């Protein structure tokens, strides 16, 4: 179990560290454009787009809660 958790930690932690380092470069006071760029990079590293797309394509065999959440996530991604 601990190996699994360590593997997850190693996979999840770097995008957060990179995001924090990006913000630190701007002394934690990024402009709107800088923040948007940093968030885009963070979302890319976290593979947010493919995950939201996969959720949005969930078939009718999924529960209505999952389908409702999928449409919400897709809306967030589109914004």
Domain parsing of the chain, residue ranges = 1-46, 47-79
Q: CA quadruple 60, 64, 65, 68: dihedral positive or negative?
A: positive
**pLDDT tens across the length of the chain (79 residues):** 789 899 889 989 999 999 999 999 999 999 999 999 999 999 999 998 888 788 777 665 554 555 555 666 667 667 6
Half-sphere exposure for 78 (CA within 13 Å, toward CB): 8
Nearest partner of 41 among 33, 26, 5, 78, judged by Cα: 33
């Amino acid at each position: 179990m601990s190996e699994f958790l360590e593997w997850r930690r190693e996979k999840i932690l770097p995008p957060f560290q990179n995001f924090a380092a990006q913000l630190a470069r701007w002394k934690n006071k990024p402009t709107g454009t800088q923040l948007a760029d940093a968030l885009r990079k963070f979302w890319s590293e976290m593979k947010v787009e493919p995950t939201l797309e996969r959720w949005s394509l969930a078939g009718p065999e999924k529960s209505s809660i999952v389908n409702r959440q999928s449409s919400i996530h897709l809306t967030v991604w589109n914004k």
